[in-house]
Amino acid sequence: MTDLIDQKQAALAAIDASTSIDALEEQRVAALGKKGWVSLALKTLGQMSPEERKEAAPAIQAVRGEVAGAIDAKKAELEAAALEAQLASETIDLTLPAPDQPKGSIHPVSQVMDELAEIFADLGFSVATGPEIEDDWHNFTALNMDESHPARAMHDTFYFPDKAADGAASSSEAVGQQKRMLLRTHTSPVQIRSMKDEGAPVRLIAPGRVYRSDSDATHTPMFHQVEGLVVDEDIHLGHLKWTLETFFKAFFEREDIVLRLRPSYFPFTEPSVEVDVGYSNEGAGKEGGRRVVGGHGDAPGHDWMELGGSGMVNRRVLEFAGIDADKYQGFAFGLGIDRIAMLKYGMNDLRAFFDGDPRWLNHYGFSPYDQPTLSAGVGVRP
Tell whether the model's pLDDT for residue 217 goes beyond 70.
no
How many angstroms separate the Cα of 232 from the Cα of each of 6, 251, 278, 325, 331? 108, 25, 30, 10, 9
pLDDT digits (tens, 9 = 90+) for 152-168: 666 678 888 875 544 44
Tell whether the model's pLDDT for residue 183 goes beyond 80.
yes
Tell whether the model's pLDDT for residue 278 goes beyond 60.
yes
Tell whether the model's pLDDT for residue 310 goes beyond 90.
yes
- Choose between 359 and 193: higher pLDDT: 193
CA distance 185 to 171: 24
Mean pLDDT computed over 219-245? 91
Tell whether the model's pLDDT for residue 307 goes beyond 50.
yes
Angle at 145 between CA 142 and CA 149, to 5 degrees: 155
Ramachandran area for residue 317 (φ above 0: left; ψ -120 to 50: alpha; else beta) = alpha
Which percentage of the chain shows pLDDT scores above 90?
Answer: 33
CA distance 75 to 83: 12
Mean pLDDT computed over 46-60? 83
Q: Which pLDDT belongs to residue 286?
A: 42
Which percentage of the chain shows pLDDT scores above 70?
Answer: 86
Is-cis flag, bond preceding 271, omega within 30? Answer: yes
CA distance 362 to 70: 55
| pTM of the model as a whole | 0.64
pLDDT digits (tens, 9 = 90+) for 90-143: 877 778 887 776 677 889 999 999 999 999 999 999 999 999 999 989 999 899
pLDDT digits (tens, 9 = 90+) for 331-375: 999 998 988 888 888 887 778 888 888 888 888 888 887 777 776
